[in-house]
């Protein structure tokens, strides 16, 4: 990873050796674009399909939440301090896969003569390369984080959401808020390593596109394709972790039977089942796990696993487009939820709530949901992270606010150094 920082395009995906099904590798590093696709939401999925099918190779990148405007008649007019492209994918010149202590190196043919020299350089690196400034967290000065909305404003907006629910406009909506810093100087790799150490999630990722960085500690899979099988694993339902094992186990058990938390999850499972059915072979949509408790470093989560089968001629992009954005980050019904999100949130989500991942030459793919992530525009010195939660008729606004703060702990700690 230190060696990779010399390149303009870097993607590092890490499962943190998490004992979980559907992992193809432990880690993968993709660097240095041979070619790339960057575009806004207009016809984004069509452009991605053409790029993928023309390249017919591994491509890595992200889909921003605002590609919703390509799937529905929607807009994104809220504040955007980060200024990231709405879609970015690249074909790497150099690929490194690690699984079970085996390193597999794949270079494009024109660059295979560089393998020996690159491996020698990697072996020589003992410390991260010199940066042009001392990171703020190494100087003992914390990055000054601001709330985009106050607690009072948050609670008022939740009252408006509850009015929508009582009227029957929606059943559930995922409402998010931004925390940000201006004039922020950080070492992105250092912050990512700290964030990953704190969280150890199964779908972590570091993404660098020129001077823009995504430092992700996501525990959630958006969607994966293995041959003809599609797997989506929505998360809804959260409880904190405790140091005392017995007390911690009680919290996990309480989460598993909590009526409100389970109802949040089940509503999104139904939404995902519906979305999967758009491309599925008839009768193939199944719920393999419902509201199973998974425990991470900071929180317990309820995760469900929903699968389907698709025909041989179904293009991967059509599957992703039918599911996008992830139901756990919108609500139900999805269109109404996204309209209300746009009205009440004050920040453009951008890559947050989108997905980071890759396509293979065989048209398989794997994408996370971009949550528990820090975003950094180095040129603008603007740093941001967002957190949110599902709001239902049984939501207590005060408890929802505290849940947001709980989810923000890892990012806050990572920035403190």
Helix (H, G, I), strand (E, B) or coil at 182: coil
Q: What is the pLDDT of residues 47-103, one digit of tens each?
A: 999 999 999 999 999 999 999 999 999 999 999 999 999 999 999 999 999 998 899
Which residue pairs from 164-167 have beta carbons closer than 8 angstroms and sit at least 24 positions apart in sequence?
Answer: 164/340, 165/391, 165/392, 165/393, 166/393
Radius of gyration of the chain (CA): 21
Instruction: Report how far residue 400's alpha carbon sits from residue 402's, in angstroms, rounded to the nearest whole number.
Output: 5
- Other beta carbons less than 10 A from residue 42's beta carbon: 11
In CATH terms, the superfamily for domain 3-128+139-416 is Anthranilate synthase (3.60.120.10)
Q: How far is CA 313 from the centre of its chain?
A: 28
Average pLDDT over residues 138-165: 88
Alpha helix locations (H) across 24-96?
44-55, 68-71
CB 201 within 8 A of CB 296: yes
Token pair in block for residue 237? 């339902």
Helix (H, G, I), strand (E, B) or coil at 202: coil
Average pLDDT over residues 142-151: 92
16-30, 169-183, 270-284, 384-398: the lowest-pLDDT one: 16-30
Confidence band, pLDDT 50/70/90 cuts, at residue 417: low
Instruction: Report how far residue 244's alpha carbon sits from residue 261's, in angstroms, rounded to the nearest whole number.
Output: 23
Indicate whether 12 pLDDT > 50.
Answer: yes
Confidence band, pLDDT 50/70/90 cuts, at residue 310: very high
Indicate whether 136 pLDDT > 90.
Answer: no
Instruction: Report how far residue 195's alpha carbon sits from residue 28's, in angstroms, rounded to the nearest whole number.
Output: 18
Instruction: Report how far residue 58's alpha carbon sits from residue 43's, in angstroms, rounded to the nearest whole number.
Output: 22
The closest of 52, 16, 50 to 364, measured between CA atoms, is: 52
377 forms bridges with which residues in the sheet? Answer: 212, 382
Catalytic-labelled residue, pool 236, 321, 348, 407: 236
Give Dmax (Cα) for the chain. Answer: 65
Q: Using CB atoms within 10 A of its CB, is residue 368 exposed (0-12), middle (13-18) or buried (19+)?
A: buried
Q: Which residues are within 8 A (CB) of 327 and not within 5 positions of it... i.e. 6 or more apart?
A: 234, 268, 271, 272, 275, 334
Indicate whether 217 pLDDT > 70.
Answer: yes
CB 59 within 8 A of CB 88: no
Instruction: Report how far residue 68's alpha carbon sits from residue 269's, in angstroms, rounded to the nearest whole number.
Output: 19
Q: What is the pLDDT of residues 229-284, one digit of tens each?
A: 999 999 999 999 999 999 999 999 999 999 989 999 999 999 999 999 999 999 99
Indicate whether 197 pLDDT > 50.
Answer: yes
Confidence band, pLDDT 50/70/90 cuts, at residue 23: confident
233 forms bridges with which residues in the sheet? Answer: 221
Instruction: Report how far residue 258's alpha carbon sits from residue 265's, in angstroms, rounded to the nearest whole number.
Output: 11
Q: What does the pLDDT read at residue 282?
A: 97
* Residue % of the chain over a pLDDT of 70: 95
Q: How far apart are the first and last CA of the chain?
A: 19
Q: What does the pLDDT read at residue 350?
A: 97
Instruction: Report how far residue 385's alpha carbon sits from residue 358's, in angstroms, rounded to the nearest whole number.
Output: 23
Q: Output the average pLDDT for the chain.
A: 93
Token pair in block for residue 404? 């947001």
Instruction: Report how far residue 30's alpha carbon sits from residue 9's, in angstroms, rounded to the nearest whole number.
Output: 8
Supply angle C-alpha 313, 316, 321, rounded to 5: 120
Instruction: Report how far residue 230's alpha carbon sits from residue 31's, in angstroms, rounded to the nearest whole number.
Output: 27
Instruction: Report how far residue 62's alpha carbon sits from residue 359's, in angstroms, rounded to the nearest whole number.
Output: 11
- Other beta carbons less than 10 A from residue 194's beta carbon: 20
Indicate whether 344 pLDDT > 90.
Answer: yes
204 phi, psi to nearest 5 deg: -75, 155
Cis-peptide into 235, omega within 30 deg: no
Tokens 């089940």, residue located:
266
Catalytic-labelled residue, pool 47, 86, 172, 220: 220
CB 314 within 8 A of CB 229: no
Q: What does the pLDDT read at residue 128?
A: 55
Q: What does the pLDDT read at residue 134?
A: 47
The closest of 290, 320, 286 to 303, measured between CA atoms, is: 290
Has 220 been annotated as catalytic?
A: yes
Indicate whether 138 pLDDT > 70.
Answer: no
Helix (H, G, I), strand (E, B) or coil at 380: coil
The closest of 249, 191, 226, 242 to 1, measured between CA atoms, is: 191
């Amino acid at each position: 990873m230190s060696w990779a920082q010399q390149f303009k395009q870097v993607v590092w995906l890490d499962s943190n050796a998490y004992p979980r099904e559907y992992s193809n590798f432990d880690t993968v590093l993709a660097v240095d674009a041979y070619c790339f696709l960057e575009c806004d939401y207009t016809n984004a999925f069509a452009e991605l399909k053409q790029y993928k099918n023309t390249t017919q190779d591994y491509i890595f990148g992200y889909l921003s939440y605002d590609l919703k405007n390509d799937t529905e008649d929607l807009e994104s007019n809220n504040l955007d301090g980060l200024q990231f492209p709405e879609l970015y994918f690249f074909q790497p010149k150099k690929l490194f896969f690690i699984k079970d202590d085996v390193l597999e190196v794949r270079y494009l043919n024109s660059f295979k003569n560089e393998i020996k020299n690159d491996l020698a350089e990697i072996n020589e690196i003992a410390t991260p390369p010199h940066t042009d400034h001392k990171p703020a967290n190494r100087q003992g000065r914390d990055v000054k984080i601001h709330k985009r909305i106050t607690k009072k404003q948050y609670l008022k907006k939740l009252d408006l959401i509850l009015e929508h629910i009582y009227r029957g406009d929606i059943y559930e909506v995922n409402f998010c808020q931004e925390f940000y810093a201006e004039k922020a100087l950080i070492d992105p790799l250092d912050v990512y390593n700290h964030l990953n150490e704190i969280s150890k999630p199964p779908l972590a990722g570091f993404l660098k596109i020129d001077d823009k960085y995504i430092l992700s500690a996501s525990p959630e899979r958006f969607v994966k394709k293995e041959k003809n099988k599609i797997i989506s694993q929505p998360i809804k339902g959260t409880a904190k972790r405790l140091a005392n094992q017995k007390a911690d186990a009680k919290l996990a058990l309480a989460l598993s039977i909590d009526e409100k938390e389970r109802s949040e999850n089940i509503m999104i499972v139904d939404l995902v089942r519906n979305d999967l059915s758009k491309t599925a072979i008839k009768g193939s949509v199944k719920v393999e796990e419902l509201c199973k408790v998974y425990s991470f470093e900071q929180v317990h989560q309820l995760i469900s696993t929903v699968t389907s089968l698709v025909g041989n001629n179904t293009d991967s992009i059509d599957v992703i487009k039918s599911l996008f954005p992830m139901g756990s980050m919108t609500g139900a019904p999805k269109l109404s939820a996204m309209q209300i999100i746009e009205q009440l949130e004050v920040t453009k989500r951008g890559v947050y709530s989108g997905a980071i991942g890759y396509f293979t030459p065989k048209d398989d793919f794997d994408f996370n949901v971009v949550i528990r992530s820090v975003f950094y525009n180095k040129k603008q010195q603007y740093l941001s992270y967002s957190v949110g939660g599902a709001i239902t008729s049984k939501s207590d606004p005060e408890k929802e606010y505290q849940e947001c703060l709980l989810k923000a702990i890892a990012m806050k700690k990572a920035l403190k150094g």
